[in-house]
Amino acid sequence: MRYWSLLFALAAIISVGIFAYAPISPEWWLPAGPNVSAGHLHSVSSAGKQIDSLFVIILLITGIVFIGTQVALVYATYFFVDKGPNGRKASYFHGSQRLEVIWTIIPAAILVFIALYQMGTWASVKFRSAAPKVQPLAQVTARQFQWVIRYPGEDGKLETKDDLFMVNDLHFVKGKQALIYLKSSDVLHSFFLPALRIKQDAVPGLTIPVWFDTDQAGHYELVCAELCGWGHYKMRGNVTVHETQEEFDQWLQSALKEQSRDQVAAVVTGSQGR
């Protein structure tokens, strides 16, 4: 019956194969930026780069441990099963202090290493003191089931008369730190930009600063990552990253112009797509 061990080996080999294949395929790896041809292995945001490196380290550690334990398991089941009447009889013994100390200390050391190693990343992504000292991009208020986004108008200050109100439409500029204030007007939501590896819960009663950047212009996705009610699946937003500040300003101007519209559109377009 030693061939059973080959079945186990097969499962392990498939797992390792997937593990090895994942980085090659953009579909299987972590979410990439809008321009996939520019390479998908490196995240497009500076927080993402740090977070991904942690991810890769953990993946390597668990990968090595996985391969090691699988080799040992398959080896033991293949060679020591079915030794027949001539083989040495298996013996039972209770406890081995040396073995137990080793298998406690090694994982503990790995855990302590990971815990210490990630602290810098956590601090730079989440600590309020690490928030960039820039003008806020917007105030984002989550509500069932949409993102209400309020940009400071030309005066750069929020909560003033020239604020721009948008729904589900987040704009910022490539290569610049964007700082938003995240709020919720009803229940828990979670502001999630998968490609930028930014995820932050929106908590009723709290105003939470969130900051992010990217080195790739284009369209991204904003989703809600906290089950917030029956319409959770609808809670998505469009994120547009502009190539230059001028492009962003242009967009802001046109949006403000639309918001202050006092006339019926010159021509109501009859484009019904038929």
Partner 1 sequence: MTSRLRFVLIAGSISFLLTGCGDAFNAGTISYKDSEQFTKKQKDTPDLDGKPQLQEAVRKALADLFGPRPQEIKVPAGSGFPEGGRYLANYEKVGDGVQDIVYTEANSGKKVAVVGGYGLYRKYCLHCHGVQGAGDGPTAEFLYPLPRDYRRGVFKFTSTAPSNPKPTRADLKKTITHGLHGTSMPAFEALMSGSEIEQVIDYVIFLSMRGEVERNLISIAALVDKDDINGITADDIKESLDTVVNNWKATETLVVSPKARRTEPTRESVLRGRDIFLGKKFGTGQPVACTDCHGLHAKGDGSSFVERNIFDKVVFRRKSLDTAIEERYKELGDEHKSAQWQPGGHGGGHDSASSELPETFDAYKNRETTNWDKGSKDDWGNPLRAANLNLGVYKGGRRPIDLYWRIAKGINGAKMPAHGNLLPDDQIWDVVNFILALPYEPDLLKDAEQIKKSVTAAPAVTQR
Binding site for partner 1 (CB under 8 A): 144-146, 148, 159-161, 165, 167-169, 222, 230-231, 234-238, 258-265, 268, 272-274
Distances in whole angstroms, Cα of residue 59 to Cα of each of 34, 47, 156:
25, 18, 43
In the complex with partner 1, the residue whose CB is nearer, 17 or 231, is: 231
In the complex with partner 1, the residue whose CB is nearer, 47 or 149, is: 149
Nearest to 142 by CA among 92, 185, 99, 108: 185
Residues contacting 135, CB < 8 A, separation 6+: 152, 156, 179
Residue 264 C-beta: closest distance to partner 1, Å: 5
Q: Which amino acid is at 14?
A: I
In sequence order, what are the beta bridge partners of 189? 202
Residue 204 C-beta: closest distance to partner 1, Å: 17
Residue 162 C-beta: closest distance to partner 1, Å: 10
In the complex with partner 1, the residue whose CB is nearer, 169 or 215, is: 169
Distances in whole angstroms, Cα of residue 135 to Cα of each of 17, 157, 180, 267:
47, 8, 9, 37
Residue 121 C-beta: closest distance to partner 1, Å: 30
Nearest to 132 by CA among 95, 72, 181: 181
In the complex with partner 1, the residue whose CB is nearer, 217 or 235, is: 235
In the complex with partner 1, the residue whose CB is nearer, 42 or 143, is: 143
Residue 236 C-beta: closest distance to partner 1, Å: 5
